[in-house]
Every structure is written in structure tokens, then in C-alpha cells.
Structure 1
Amino acid sequence: MPIKQLLALFTVFILSLSSNATESKNKVYEITFSVTATPDQEKEFKDKIVPWASIKNSEVDSKRLIDSTRKVISESEATVIIDYPVRKPVNFKITSKDGFTRGDLLRRIGQIYRQMYRDEEASSTIKTVPIDKRKGLINRNATDGKYGIWGHDIDDLDISSATISCSNGKCTIDLGIES
């Protein structure tokens, strides 16, 4: 085979490798979950923007969520990684044929957390100490259920951001949880 043909084939091969590498390259980006302030929050947040949303009240906060209808994930499947406040990280798969908007994610993440707290209470032999019975720091006691939740009641949890990493049609979502 003449050298020109070999070089041409080699060039096509290298370009195809480069193209495949670009297609499988990670897309990593961060989104935020800011909500418009309620009238009683306006004194604390002068710009009338709260830089987080409630986990427990995600359904309500999704109505005040800034850019709630903006699609933030085009893929139909994503894995939400919950690593706080649990003993070890837990992955939850979520699906949607049309991808996910910011509001979709807030509602789904809230649903996951609410179910986790219910499952924890049902599976734990150590029950959560009621707030009015806690001494000193009023953090939630650690329980030994399915997830090993510790430190914070669901009422204490807010989401401020999520880092989304997508590669080859699969996405993972790492949460920025505040307490």
C-alpha cells in the first residue's frame, strides 16, 4: 500500500478516535436552587432572593424557584447521590423521558429525602429523640436504620446547588445540602 494511502487511513483513524473522545467527554456543570423570598424573609434577604430551597417543602419551594422551567439535564436518566446526613452515600436513579428541569430536580430530590427519612424511622431500632426532649445542641440523634441518618432533621435541610456530571448519556448529581 502506498505511503499516501497509509497516511490517509491513519489520519482518518486518529480523527475518529478524537471524535469518539469528544463525544464521551464529561460535561460537568453546577446549577443553583434559589427561590424568591417570602414577605417575612424580605428583611433578611434584601435582594428578595433566598440562595437555597427547602428539602422538606420542595413542592412549595418549586413554585418560587428561579428558572424552575429551565431544562438542566437533557438525558432521560440520572443518579442522585445522597451523602448527607447519612452514614454512607446512597444512589437513587431518577428517570424522565424529556430530561429534567430545575423544578423537576428540586421536587424529585425532596421526594427522595422525605422517603429516606420515613424509611429510616421505620427501620431504626434507635428512635429519633423529639426536639423538645433534646438537651444542649438540638441536632437530631444518629439512628441505626436503613440509611444511618444523623445530625439533622429533614426540616433543617436545604439545597443550594447541584453539580451535574454527564458522560455517555449517563448523569450523576452531587448535591450541595445546607443545614
Structure 2
Amino acid sequence: MEKDRLAAFSDGVVAIIVTIMVLELKAPHSAQWSALAPLAATFASYALSFVYVAIYWNNHHHLLYAVSRVDGTVLWANMHLLFWLSLIPFATAWMADNDFASAPTILYGAALLMPAIAYNLLTAAILRADGPASTLAGAVGRDVKGRASIAVYLCAIAAGYFVSPLLALGLYVAVAIMWFAPDPRIEKIVAGAPDQR
């Protein structure tokens, strides 16, 4: 299978995920500015989730850019990632509807943790298909940022349970900030520029 078909399918799923999330933003029936205040938690949750989905889409694009071979394991690993990403709208809505209460905020953390794990599994599947001498293997390296993200998600989930949901939210935002600027390693390797890891 060509990687272009995999990318196109993934793009379509991500577009549907974003559409489902934005449908949770219900317009108020009042024409007063004050009618928007109750939507603050919903909008904040949507904005954070939109950033996360955009980060995954962006990094997925970079990942597939360097792929030379797609096999069945890569296809299923990609579907695994898309499955977990598709649950982000549900977790977002539950967290927003309950004003960042503990249980929904913890579930939201799980909804962020699982795609991070799935993304690592997808990367591993691609590396197996392409081989250890591939362009992507040279670009990915030790993936310290990816592993650190998983550790922060686990800490945030624990913080949401034992300390405060707001602390957990702060950690979710911190990971998003960490990934907001895409990692240019793959582009530099593909373009033949020196690696800056």
C-alpha cells in the first residue's frame, strides 16, 4: 500500500474528529454577551483538544513524510492511533460539561495518554518496516520528548486524582506547549541538513 492512501485516510478521520468536537460548541439562545460565559469551560476544553489533534496531525504528517514502506502492521498501528484519537471528543465533552471535575479530567488525561502510546507504537512499526538504517530511524533517535510526554501524562492523571484537577490540566497544557512547535528532526534528515538532536 502506498503511504499516500494511509495519509489521506488519516487526514479524513482527523477532520471528522475536529468536526465532532466543534459540534459540542452550542450557540446560546440569548443575544447578550453574558450568555457566552457558561460556554467558557466548553470553549477552553475544545481549544485544548483542537491543539492536541492538530499536534498529532502535524507530527503524523512529518512521520509519514519519511516513510518508504507501509505494511499490514503499520496499517493496524495507524488504525490503533486513530481509534484513541477518536475518543478525544468524548473525553473533551465530559470534562467540559462537568467544569473540569476530577473524574472527567482524569479520563481526559487517559484520552491523551493512549494516543501518545499508540503514536510510539506506530513509529516502532514503521521503523520495523523500513529497517534500522532507514531515514526515519536516523531522524527519530531516542525520542526523549515522546517518552517524557507519556511520563507527564501519567503524573497528570495521578495529580488529578490525588491533588487537583487544575494541576492535571496545567500539565496537559504543558505537554501541548512542548509539542506546539513541530520537531524538525525528520525534515532536517530528509533534506540532508545536519541533525540538531
Q: Same fold (TM over 0.5)?
A: no
Structure having the higher Rg: 1
- Structure (1/2) with the larger helix percentage: 2
| TM-score (normalised: structure 1) | 0.31
| TM-score (normalised: structure 2) | 0.29
